[in-house]
Chains A and B, each alone.
Chain A
Amino acid sequence: MRHEFLDHHSGVESPVHHLDPRAKVLVFFSFIFIGVSTPPHSIPVFMILVAGLIGITWVARLPLLHLVKKLLVLLPFLLMVTASIPFMKKDGLAGGYNLGLGGLSLSRSGLWIFWNVLIKSCLGVFSVILLYSTTTFPQLVKGLERLGTPRVFTVLFSFMYRYSFLLVDEIHRMKRARDSRSFGRRWFWQLKTLGHMIGTLFLRSFHRAERVYGAMLSRGYQGTLPGVSLKRFGLGEYLFLMIIPALLVTRLLWG
Protein backbone atom coordinates (compact mmCIF):
# COMPACT_ATOMS: atom_id res chain seq x y z
CA MET A 1 0.00 0.00 0.00
CA ARG A 2 1.09 3.55 -0.69
CA HIS A 3 0.42 6.39 1.70
CA GLU A 4 1.38 9.97 1.33
CA PHE A 5 -1.20 11.64 3.48
CA LEU A 6 1.23 13.78 5.40
CA ASP A 7 4.07 15.07 3.28
CA HIS A 8 2.32 14.68 -0.03
CA HIS A 9 4.13 17.50 -1.84
CA SER A 10 7.48 17.22 -0.10
CA GLY A 11 9.02 15.50 -3.13
CA VAL A 12 8.37 18.42 -5.50
CA GLU A 13 11.50 19.99 -7.01
CA SER A 14 11.70 23.71 -6.24
CA PRO A 15 14.12 26.23 -4.71
CA VAL A 16 12.15 26.15 -1.45
CA HIS A 17 12.26 22.36 -1.25
CA HIS A 18 16.04 22.39 -1.57
CA LEU A 19 16.56 24.74 1.38
CA ASP A 20 17.97 23.53 4.67
CA PRO A 21 15.07 22.43 6.92
CA ARG A 22 16.32 24.68 9.74
CA ALA A 23 15.85 27.81 7.63
CA LYS A 24 12.33 26.74 6.74
CA VAL A 25 11.40 25.95 10.34
CA LEU A 26 12.63 29.38 11.46
CA VAL A 27 10.86 31.31 8.71
CA PHE A 28 7.53 29.54 9.00
CA PHE A 29 7.53 29.77 12.77
CA SER A 30 8.26 33.50 12.53
CA PHE A 31 5.17 33.78 10.31
CA ILE A 32 3.20 32.15 13.12
CA PHE A 33 4.68 34.24 15.94
CA ILE A 34 4.36 37.53 14.12
CA GLY A 35 0.85 36.64 12.99
CA VAL A 36 -0.24 35.77 16.51
CA SER A 37 1.32 38.88 18.06
CA THR A 38 -0.33 41.29 15.60
CA PRO A 39 -3.40 43.11 16.96
CA PRO A 40 -6.56 42.22 15.00
CA HIS A 41 -7.02 45.81 13.73
CA SER A 42 -3.73 45.81 11.80
CA ILE A 43 -5.21 44.60 8.55
CA PRO A 44 -2.17 45.63 6.38
CA VAL A 45 0.14 43.35 8.38
CA PHE A 46 -2.16 40.39 7.86
CA MET A 47 -2.40 41.20 4.17
CA ILE A 48 1.38 41.20 3.85
CA LEU A 49 1.66 37.94 5.83
CA VAL A 50 -0.91 36.25 3.59
CA ALA A 51 0.81 37.64 0.49
CA GLY A 52 4.13 36.32 1.78
CA LEU A 53 2.75 32.81 2.29
CA ILE A 54 1.10 32.83 -1.14
CA GLY A 55 4.38 34.02 -2.63
CA ILE A 56 6.30 31.14 -1.05
CA THR A 57 3.62 28.73 -2.28
CA TRP A 58 4.16 30.07 -5.79
CA VAL A 59 7.96 29.83 -5.65
CA ALA A 60 7.65 26.30 -4.22
CA ARG A 61 5.44 25.29 -7.19
CA LEU A 62 2.67 24.03 -4.94
CA PRO A 63 -1.02 24.01 -5.89
CA LEU A 64 -2.46 26.84 -3.79
CA LEU A 65 -6.06 25.70 -3.97
CA HIS A 66 -5.17 22.19 -2.81
CA LEU A 67 -3.34 23.57 0.22
CA VAL A 68 -6.17 25.95 1.05
CA LYS A 69 -8.52 22.98 1.02
CA LYS A 70 -6.38 21.41 3.73
CA LEU A 71 -7.26 24.41 5.90
CA LEU A 72 -10.78 22.99 6.09
CA VAL A 73 -9.50 20.53 8.72
CA LEU A 74 -9.53 23.54 10.94
CA LEU A 75 -13.17 24.37 10.37
CA PRO A 76 -14.90 22.20 13.01
CA PHE A 77 -12.58 23.37 15.76
CA LEU A 78 -12.79 26.95 14.67
CA LEU A 79 -16.58 26.90 14.59
CA MET A 80 -16.80 25.34 18.02
CA VAL A 81 -14.53 27.94 19.55
CA THR A 82 -15.87 30.97 17.78
CA ALA A 83 -19.54 30.31 17.15
CA SER A 84 -20.73 32.24 20.17
CA ILE A 85 -18.16 35.02 20.22
CA PRO A 86 -19.88 37.51 17.87
CA PHE A 87 -22.95 37.40 20.08
CA MET A 88 -21.13 38.48 23.20
CA LYS A 89 -22.42 41.91 24.11
CA LYS A 90 -19.80 44.37 25.20
CA ASP A 91 -20.39 47.60 23.42
CA GLY A 92 -22.43 49.03 20.60
CA LEU A 93 -24.44 46.72 18.39
CA ALA A 94 -23.18 46.02 14.92
CA GLY A 95 -26.47 44.63 13.79
CA GLY A 96 -29.19 42.27 14.95
CA TYR A 97 -31.44 39.42 13.97
CA ASN A 98 -34.85 38.72 15.31
CA LEU A 99 -35.47 35.00 15.04
CA GLY A 100 -38.74 35.19 16.87
CA LEU A 101 -37.30 33.46 19.89
CA GLY A 102 -35.94 36.63 21.32
CA GLY A 103 -33.21 38.87 20.03
CA LEU A 104 -29.88 37.70 18.61
CA SER A 105 -27.47 40.53 18.16
CA LEU A 106 -23.91 40.87 16.87
CA SER A 107 -21.51 42.98 18.87
CA ARG A 108 -18.72 44.90 17.19
CA SER A 109 -15.99 43.76 19.61
CA GLY A 110 -17.32 40.21 19.29
CA LEU A 111 -16.84 40.38 15.54
CA TRP A 112 -13.27 41.63 15.99
CA ILE A 113 -12.50 38.74 18.29
CA PHE A 114 -13.99 36.36 15.74
CA TRP A 115 -11.80 37.85 13.00
CA ASN A 116 -8.80 37.66 15.32
CA VAL A 117 -9.24 33.93 15.96
CA LEU A 118 -10.06 33.19 12.33
CA ILE A 119 -7.12 34.95 10.67
CA LYS A 120 -4.52 33.88 13.23
CA SER A 121 -5.45 30.20 13.23
CA CYS A 122 -5.61 30.14 9.43
CA LEU A 123 -2.20 31.81 9.17
CA GLY A 124 -0.70 29.43 11.69
CA VAL A 125 -2.07 26.27 10.13
CA PHE A 126 -1.23 27.41 6.59
CA SER A 127 2.37 28.07 7.66
CA VAL A 128 2.62 24.55 9.04
CA ILE A 129 1.03 23.10 5.89
CA LEU A 130 3.62 24.93 3.79
CA LEU A 131 6.41 23.73 6.05
CA TYR A 132 5.57 20.04 5.70
CA SER A 133 4.70 20.39 2.02
CA THR A 134 8.19 21.68 1.27
CA THR A 135 10.17 19.45 3.62
CA THR A 136 10.27 15.67 3.87
CA PHE A 137 9.45 14.42 7.34
CA PRO A 138 12.90 12.94 8.10
CA GLN A 139 14.51 16.27 7.15
CA LEU A 140 12.01 18.18 9.22
CA VAL A 141 12.80 16.06 12.27
CA LYS A 142 16.53 16.52 11.74
CA GLY A 143 16.04 20.26 11.36
CA LEU A 144 14.03 20.48 14.57
CA GLU A 145 16.67 18.46 16.36
CA ARG A 146 19.47 20.71 15.21
CA LEU A 147 17.48 23.72 16.38
CA GLY A 148 17.48 22.35 19.90
CA THR A 149 14.31 20.26 20.16
CA PRO A 150 14.99 17.60 22.83
CA ARG A 151 15.96 14.17 21.41
CA VAL A 152 13.05 12.50 23.18
CA PHE A 153 10.58 14.48 21.09
CA THR A 154 12.36 14.10 17.77
CA VAL A 155 12.75 10.35 18.31
CA LEU A 156 9.07 10.20 19.19
CA PHE A 157 8.20 12.13 16.01
CA SER A 158 10.18 9.79 13.77
CA PHE A 159 8.64 6.68 15.31
CA MET A 160 5.19 8.20 15.06
CA TYR A 161 5.76 8.99 11.40
CA ARG A 162 7.17 5.55 10.58
CA TYR A 163 4.49 3.59 12.39
CA SER A 164 1.47 5.77 11.62
CA PHE A 165 1.49 4.14 8.17
CA LEU A 166 1.46 0.66 9.67
CA LEU A 167 -1.25 1.65 12.10
CA VAL A 168 -3.44 2.89 9.26
CA ASP A 169 -2.80 -0.38 7.38
CA GLU A 170 -3.70 -2.34 10.48
CA ILE A 171 -6.95 -0.41 10.90
CA HIS A 172 -7.86 -0.99 7.24
CA ARG A 173 -7.17 -4.72 7.55
CA MET A 174 -9.27 -5.02 10.70
CA LYS A 175 -12.07 -2.99 9.14
CA ARG A 176 -12.05 -5.24 6.09
CA ALA A 177 -12.07 -8.33 8.28
CA ARG A 178 -15.00 -6.94 10.24
CA ASP A 179 -16.97 -5.88 7.17
CA SER A 180 -16.54 -9.26 5.51
CA ARG A 181 -18.09 -10.99 8.50
CA SER A 182 -20.65 -8.51 9.74
CA PHE A 183 -23.55 -7.53 7.55
CA GLY A 184 -27.02 -6.27 8.21
CA ARG A 185 -26.33 -5.51 11.85
CA ARG A 186 -27.50 -2.18 13.13
CA TRP A 187 -24.86 0.45 13.80
CA PHE A 188 -25.15 0.31 17.59
CA TRP A 189 -24.30 -3.40 17.53
CA GLN A 190 -21.13 -2.43 15.75
CA LEU A 191 -20.10 -0.19 18.62
CA LYS A 192 -19.16 -3.25 20.65
CA THR A 193 -17.07 -4.54 17.77
CA LEU A 194 -15.43 -1.15 17.50
CA GLY A 195 -14.49 -1.35 21.16
CA HIS A 196 -12.86 -4.74 20.58
CA MET A 197 -11.04 -3.39 17.55
CA ILE A 198 -9.58 -0.51 19.49
CA GLY A 199 -8.45 -2.88 22.22
CA THR A 200 -6.89 -5.25 19.71
CA LEU A 201 -5.17 -2.37 17.97
CA PHE A 202 -3.67 -1.26 21.25
CA LEU A 203 -2.40 -4.76 22.07
CA ARG A 204 -0.95 -5.24 18.59
CA SER A 205 0.82 -1.88 18.76
CA PHE A 206 2.14 -2.74 22.18
CA HIS A 207 3.58 -6.04 20.98
CA ARG A 208 5.02 -4.42 17.89
CA ALA A 209 6.71 -1.84 20.08
CA GLU A 210 8.34 -4.68 22.01
CA ARG A 211 9.58 -6.34 18.82
CA VAL A 212 10.88 -3.05 17.43
CA TYR A 213 12.74 -2.40 20.65
CA GLY A 214 14.22 -5.91 20.35
CA ALA A 215 15.37 -5.06 16.82
CA MET A 216 16.94 -1.84 18.08
CA LEU A 217 18.77 -3.66 20.86
CA SER A 218 19.97 -6.24 18.34
CA ARG A 219 21.74 -3.49 16.43
CA GLY A 220 23.50 -2.08 19.44
CA TYR A 221 21.01 0.53 20.68
CA GLN A 222 22.03 1.85 24.09
CA GLY A 223 19.52 4.58 24.77
CA THR A 224 20.82 7.38 22.56
CA LEU A 225 20.35 7.77 18.84
CA PRO A 226 23.51 8.99 17.13
CA GLY A 227 23.04 12.21 15.20
CA VAL A 228 23.26 12.66 11.46
CA SER A 229 24.74 15.87 10.13
CA LEU A 230 23.02 18.38 7.86
CA LYS A 231 24.76 20.40 5.17
CA ARG A 232 25.87 23.95 5.94
CA PHE A 233 23.87 27.10 5.26
CA GLY A 234 24.44 28.65 1.84
CA LEU A 235 23.33 31.83 0.09
CA GLY A 236 19.82 30.47 -0.50
CA GLU A 237 19.29 29.78 3.19
CA TYR A 238 20.48 33.26 4.22
CA LEU A 239 18.29 34.90 1.58
CA PHE A 240 15.30 32.89 2.76
CA LEU A 241 15.99 33.87 6.35
CA MET A 242 15.81 37.56 5.31
CA ILE A 243 12.04 37.05 5.31
CA ILE A 244 12.15 37.17 9.12
CA PRO A 245 13.49 40.76 9.47
CA ALA A 246 11.14 41.80 6.65
CA LEU A 247 8.19 40.45 8.64
CA LEU A 248 9.45 42.14 11.79
CA VAL A 249 9.72 45.51 10.06
CA THR A 250 6.21 45.10 8.66
CA ARG A 251 4.90 44.28 12.09
CA LEU A 252 6.60 47.31 13.71
CA LEU A 253 5.59 49.76 10.99
CA TRP A 254 1.91 48.89 10.67
CA GLY A 255 1.24 46.79 13.77
Chain B
Amino acid sequence: MGMKSDRVIEIDHLSYDYPDGTSALREIDLEVFRGESIAILGPNGAGKSTLLYHFNGTFIGKGKVVVLGLPLIKENLKEIRRRVGLVFQNPDDQLFCPTVHDDVAFGPLNMGLEEKDIRNRVERALGMVGLPGFERRSAHHLSEGEKKRVALATVLAMDSEILALDEPTDNLDPAGSQALIERIRQIGQTKIIITHHLALAMDLCDRAVFLQAGRKIEDLPMEKLLQNRDLLERFGFDADLAQWMYERKKKAKNQNAK
Protein backbone atom coordinates (compact mmCIF):
# COMPACT_ATOMS: atom_id res chain seq x y z
CA MET B 1 0.00 0.00 0.00
CA GLY B 2 0.94 3.64 -0.38
CA MET B 3 3.52 5.68 1.42
CA LYS B 4 2.72 7.85 4.38
CA SER B 5 2.22 10.87 2.16
CA ASP B 6 -0.53 9.01 0.33
CA ARG B 7 -2.63 8.82 3.44
CA VAL B 8 -5.82 10.82 2.77
CA ILE B 9 -7.72 10.10 5.98
CA GLU B 10 -6.21 9.55 9.38
CA ILE B 11 -8.47 8.85 12.34
CA ASP B 12 -7.08 8.29 15.80
CA HIS B 13 -9.16 7.37 18.86
CA LEU B 14 -12.33 8.95 17.54
CA SER B 15 -15.36 8.86 19.86
CA TYR B 16 -18.72 10.48 19.29
CA ASP B 17 -21.74 10.80 21.59
CA TYR B 18 -25.12 11.97 20.35
CA PRO B 19 -26.55 15.01 22.14
CA ASP B 20 -28.87 12.73 24.15
CA GLY B 21 -25.83 10.90 25.53
CA THR B 22 -26.01 7.78 23.37
CA SER B 23 -22.53 6.68 22.44
CA ALA B 24 -22.26 6.23 18.66
CA LEU B 25 -18.53 5.78 18.08
CA ARG B 26 -15.90 4.52 20.49
CA GLU B 27 -12.15 4.77 20.02
CA ILE B 28 -12.11 4.33 16.25
CA ASP B 29 -8.76 4.17 14.45
CA LEU B 30 -8.74 4.22 10.67
CA GLU B 31 -6.36 5.05 7.87
CA VAL B 32 -7.39 5.49 4.26
CA PHE B 33 -4.87 5.75 1.43
CA ARG B 34 -5.26 7.51 -1.90
CA GLY B 35 -7.00 5.46 -4.59
CA GLU B 36 -8.35 2.88 -2.16
CA SER B 37 -11.93 1.66 -2.13
CA ILE B 38 -13.17 0.74 1.32
CA ALA B 39 -16.41 -0.96 2.29
CA ILE B 40 -17.77 -0.14 5.72
CA LEU B 41 -19.90 -3.05 6.88
CA GLY B 42 -21.84 -3.80 10.04
CA PRO B 43 -25.32 -4.11 11.48
CA ASN B 44 -27.86 -1.27 11.72
CA GLY B 45 -26.96 1.19 14.43
CA ALA B 46 -23.29 0.20 14.45
CA GLY B 47 -22.20 3.79 13.80
CA LYS B 48 -21.34 3.48 10.10
CA SER B 49 -23.10 6.66 9.00
CA THR B 50 -21.86 8.56 12.03
CA LEU B 51 -18.31 7.64 11.05
CA LEU B 52 -18.94 8.67 7.44
CA TYR B 53 -20.21 12.08 8.55
CA HIS B 54 -16.85 12.71 10.19
CA PHE B 55 -15.06 12.52 6.85
CA ASN B 56 -16.32 15.97 5.87
CA GLY B 57 -17.06 17.42 9.27
CA THR B 58 -20.85 17.09 9.28
CA PHE B 59 -20.15 15.66 12.73
CA ILE B 60 -17.08 16.49 14.81
CA GLY B 61 -16.32 14.11 17.66
CA LYS B 62 -13.57 13.67 20.23
CA GLY B 63 -10.24 12.41 18.97
CA LYS B 64 -7.95 13.13 16.06
CA VAL B 65 -9.30 13.33 12.52
CA VAL B 66 -7.06 14.52 9.70
CA VAL B 67 -8.53 14.70 6.19
CA LEU B 68 -6.18 15.32 3.25
CA GLY B 69 -3.60 16.68 5.65
CA LEU B 70 -6.08 19.08 7.27
CA PRO B 71 -7.12 18.60 10.90
CA LEU B 72 -10.91 18.48 11.27
CA ILE B 73 -11.50 21.89 12.85
CA LYS B 74 -13.93 24.66 12.00
CA GLU B 75 -11.39 26.71 10.06
CA ASN B 76 -10.72 23.82 7.66
CA LEU B 77 -14.31 22.75 7.07
CA LYS B 78 -14.78 24.76 3.89
CA GLU B 79 -11.68 23.26 2.29
CA ILE B 80 -12.44 19.75 3.52
CA ARG B 81 -16.01 19.83 2.25
CA ARG B 82 -14.81 20.99 -1.15
CA ARG B 83 -12.48 18.02 -1.38
CA VAL B 84 -14.63 15.30 0.20
CA GLY B 85 -17.94 14.52 -1.49
CA LEU B 86 -20.57 12.96 0.73
CA VAL B 87 -23.69 11.29 -0.65
CA PHE B 88 -26.44 10.79 1.89
CA GLN B 89 -28.46 7.60 2.09
CA ASN B 90 -31.78 9.24 1.27
CA PRO B 91 -31.62 11.13 -2.04
CA ASP B 92 -34.54 13.29 -0.95
CA ASP B 93 -32.20 14.78 1.64
CA GLN B 94 -29.49 15.32 -0.94
CA LEU B 95 -31.66 16.87 -3.65
CA PHE B 96 -33.18 20.04 -2.25
CA CYS B 97 -33.30 22.27 -5.34
CA PRO B 98 -36.24 22.77 -7.71
CA THR B 99 -34.43 21.24 -10.70
CA VAL B 100 -31.75 18.61 -11.30
CA HIS B 101 -29.51 21.27 -12.83
CA ASP B 102 -29.70 23.49 -9.75
CA ASP B 103 -28.90 20.54 -7.48
CA VAL B 104 -25.87 19.40 -9.46
CA ALA B 105 -24.72 23.01 -9.86
CA PHE B 106 -25.11 23.78 -6.14
CA GLY B 107 -21.64 22.56 -5.11
CA PRO B 108 -19.75 24.15 -8.04
CA LEU B 109 -21.67 27.43 -7.52
CA ASN B 110 -20.60 27.48 -3.89
CA MET B 111 -17.04 26.90 -5.06
CA GLY B 112 -17.35 30.21 -6.93
CA LEU B 113 -16.71 28.83 -10.41
CA GLU B 114 -17.47 30.55 -13.72
CA GLU B 115 -20.87 29.96 -15.28
CA LYS B 116 -19.45 28.16 -18.33
CA ASP B 117 -17.32 25.88 -16.15
CA ILE B 118 -20.38 25.09 -14.03
CA ARG B 119 -22.44 24.19 -17.08
CA ASN B 120 -19.69 21.87 -18.28
CA ARG B 121 -19.39 20.21 -14.90
CA VAL B 122 -23.15 19.65 -14.64
CA GLU B 123 -23.21 18.15 -18.11
CA ARG B 124 -20.22 15.91 -17.40
CA ALA B 125 -21.50 14.75 -13.98
CA LEU B 126 -24.93 13.85 -15.39
CA GLY B 127 -23.19 12.02 -18.22
CA MET B 128 -21.10 10.05 -15.72
CA VAL B 129 -24.22 8.76 -13.96
CA GLY B 130 -25.94 8.01 -17.27
CA LEU B 131 -28.57 10.73 -17.10
CA PRO B 132 -27.57 13.21 -19.82
CA GLY B 133 -30.18 15.85 -20.57
CA PHE B 134 -31.90 15.61 -17.20
CA GLU B 135 -30.99 19.20 -16.26
CA ARG B 136 -34.49 20.63 -16.35
CA ARG B 137 -36.28 17.76 -14.62
CA SER B 138 -37.59 18.13 -11.05
CA ALA B 139 -36.30 15.78 -8.37
CA HIS B 140 -39.80 14.76 -7.31
CA HIS B 141 -40.56 13.50 -10.82
CA LEU B 142 -37.62 11.09 -10.87
CA SER B 143 -37.65 7.40 -10.03
CA GLU B 144 -35.78 6.23 -6.95
CA GLY B 145 -32.89 4.94 -9.09
CA GLU B 146 -32.64 8.20 -10.99
CA LYS B 147 -32.69 10.17 -7.73
CA LYS B 148 -29.81 8.07 -6.39
CA ARG B 149 -27.81 8.72 -9.54
CA VAL B 150 -28.48 12.46 -9.50
CA ALA B 151 -27.44 12.50 -5.83
CA LEU B 152 -24.14 10.93 -6.90
CA ALA B 153 -23.80 13.50 -9.70
CA THR B 154 -24.14 16.36 -7.20
CA VAL B 155 -20.79 15.41 -5.67
CA LEU B 156 -19.15 14.23 -8.90
CA ALA B 157 -19.64 17.78 -10.21
CA MET B 158 -17.42 19.02 -7.37
CA ASP B 159 -14.46 16.89 -8.49
CA SER B 160 -13.90 15.76 -4.92
CA GLU B 161 -10.77 13.75 -4.15
CA ILE B 162 -12.63 11.46 -1.77
CA LEU B 163 -16.14 10.09 -2.23
CA ALA B 164 -18.09 8.93 0.81
CA LEU B 165 -21.27 7.06 -0.12
CA ASP B 166 -23.92 6.01 2.39
CA GLU B 167 -25.70 2.89 1.08
CA PRO B 168 -25.69 3.90 -2.58
CA THR B 169 -27.83 0.94 -3.73
CA ASP B 170 -30.26 0.94 -0.82
CA ASN B 171 -33.90 0.82 -2.04
CA LEU B 172 -32.94 -0.02 -5.62
CA ASP B 173 -34.10 -2.98 -7.68
CA PRO B 174 -31.36 -5.45 -8.77
CA ALA B 175 -31.00 -3.98 -12.27
CA GLY B 176 -30.89 -0.45 -10.87
CA SER B 177 -28.26 -1.29 -8.30
CA GLN B 178 -26.15 -3.16 -10.87
CA ALA B 179 -26.26 -0.11 -13.14
CA LEU B 180 -25.23 2.14 -10.28
CA ILE B 181 -22.38 -0.19 -9.25
CA GLU B 182 -21.02 0.01 -12.81
CA ARG B 183 -21.12 3.80 -12.65
CA ILE B 184 -19.36 3.91 -9.30
CA ARG B 185 -16.70 1.49 -10.52
CA GLN B 186 -15.72 3.93 -13.28
CA ILE B 187 -15.04 6.72 -10.78
CA GLY B 188 -11.34 6.93 -10.10
CA GLN B 189 -11.34 8.73 -6.75
CA THR B 190 -10.76 7.27 -3.31
CA LYS B 191 -14.07 5.71 -2.26
CA ILE B 192 -15.53 4.87 1.12
CA ILE B 193 -18.83 3.04 0.79
CA ILE B 194 -21.28 2.00 3.47
CA THR B 195 -23.27 -1.02 2.35
CA HIS B 196 -25.14 -4.13 3.40
CA HIS B 197 -24.59 -5.81 0.03
CA LEU B 198 -21.65 -8.16 0.01
CA ALA B 199 -21.75 -8.35 -3.79
CA LEU B 200 -21.35 -4.58 -4.03
CA ALA B 201 -18.54 -4.57 -1.49
CA MET B 202 -16.73 -7.35 -3.34
CA ASP B 203 -17.29 -5.72 -6.73
CA LEU B 204 -16.09 -2.26 -5.82
CA CYS B 205 -13.86 -2.46 -2.76
CA ASP B 206 -10.47 -3.90 -1.95
CA ARG B 207 -10.75 -3.51 1.81
CA ALA B 208 -13.50 -4.15 4.37
CA VAL B 209 -13.95 -2.40 7.71
CA PHE B 210 -16.44 -3.88 10.18
CA LEU B 211 -18.15 -1.78 12.83
CA GLN B 212 -20.21 -3.11 15.68
CA ALA B 213 -21.73 -1.11 18.55
CA GLY B 214 -19.58 1.91 17.70
CA ARG B 215 -16.28 0.01 17.61
CA LYS B 216 -14.13 -1.05 14.73
CA ILE B 217 -13.78 -4.81 15.10
CA GLU B 218 -12.21 -5.84 11.79
CA ASP B 219 -10.17 -4.22 9.05
CA LEU B 220 -9.06 -6.66 6.37
CA PRO B 221 -8.50 -7.04 2.60
CA MET B 222 -11.64 -8.03 0.70
CA GLU B 223 -10.13 -11.34 -0.45
CA LYS B 224 -9.44 -12.34 3.15
CA LEU B 225 -12.99 -11.46 4.15
CA LEU B 226 -14.52 -13.61 1.43
CA GLN B 227 -12.68 -16.64 2.83
CA ASN B 228 -13.40 -15.87 6.48
CA ARG B 229 -16.50 -17.99 7.15
CA ASP B 230 -16.68 -17.20 10.86
CA LEU B 231 -16.70 -13.47 10.39
CA LEU B 232 -19.17 -13.59 7.51
CA GLU B 233 -21.60 -15.84 9.35
CA ARG B 234 -21.36 -13.77 12.51
CA PHE B 235 -22.80 -10.84 10.54
CA GLY B 236 -25.42 -12.89 8.73
CA PHE B 237 -23.74 -13.04 5.32
CA ASP B 238 -23.96 -16.19 3.21
CA ALA B 239 -20.46 -17.68 3.45
CA ASP B 240 -21.06 -20.15 0.60
CA LEU B 241 -22.12 -17.33 -1.70
CA ALA B 242 -19.03 -15.38 -0.64
CA GLN B 243 -16.83 -18.38 -1.42
CA TRP B 244 -18.43 -18.72 -4.84
CA MET B 245 -17.98 -15.01 -5.56
CA TYR B 246 -14.34 -15.26 -4.50
CA GLU B 247 -13.71 -18.21 -6.85
CA ARG B 248 -15.42 -16.42 -9.71
CA LYS B 249 -13.40 -13.26 -9.16
CA LYS B 250 -10.16 -15.26 -9.04
CA LYS B 251 -11.06 -17.05 -12.26
CA ALA B 252 -11.84 -13.76 -13.99
CA LYS B 253 -8.55 -12.35 -12.81
CA ASN B 254 -6.60 -15.32 -14.15
CA GLN B 255 -8.36 -15.08 -17.48
CA ASN B 256 -7.50 -11.41 -17.70
CA ALA B 257 -3.88 -12.23 -16.92
CA LYS B 258 -3.77 -14.64 -19.87
Contact A138 B154 (CB under 8 A): no
* Residue B141 CB within 8 A of the other chain: yes
Task: Encode contact with B along A213-255: 1 for CB under 8 Å, 0 otherwise.
Answer: 0111111111001101100000000000000000000000000
> Which B87-103 residues sit within 8 Å CB-CB of chain A?
88, 90, 92-99, 102
In the complex, what residue of chain B is closest to A164 when comparing beta carbons?
B140
In the complex, what residue of chain A is closest to B140 when comparing beta carbons?
A165
Partner of B98, one of A2, A161, A214, A219: A161
* Residue B155 CB within 8 A of the other chain: yes
- Chain B residues contacting A161 (CB-CB under 8 Å) are 98
Contact A208 B97 (CB under 8 A): no
Contact A219 B155 (CB under 8 A): yes
Task: Encode contact with B along A150-171: 1 for CB under 8 Å, 0 otherwise.
Answer: 0000000011011101100000
- Chain B at the A interface: mostly helix, strand, loop or mixed? helix
Partner of B53, one of A2, A212, A214: A214
- Interface size of B by Cβ–Cβ distance < 8 Å? 34
* Residue B158 CB within 8 A of the other chain: yes
Of the four ranges (under 10, 10 to 19, 20 to 34, 35 or more), the interface on chain A belongs to: 20 to 34
In the complex, what residue of chain B is closest to A168 when comparing beta carbons?
B140
- Chain A residues contacting B78 (CB-CB under 8 Å) are 220, 222
Task: Encode contact with B along A127-164: 1 for CB under 8 Å, 0 otherwise.
Answer: 00000000001100100000000000000001101110
> Which A79-118 residues sit within 8 Å CB-CB of chain B?
none
* Residue B139 CB within 8 A of the other chain: yes
Contact B88 A211 (CB under 8 A): yes
A166 CB to closest chain B CB (Å) equals 6
Most B CB within 10 A of own CB, among A137, A166, A228 = A228
Partner of A138, one of B85, B99, B111: B99
* Residue B107 CB within 8 A of the other chain: yes
Contact B58 A214 (CB under 8 A): yes
Contact status of A215 and B110, CB under 8 A, knowing A162-B140, A165-B140: no
The 3 closest A-B pairs by CB, nearest first: A220-B110, A138-B98, A219-B107
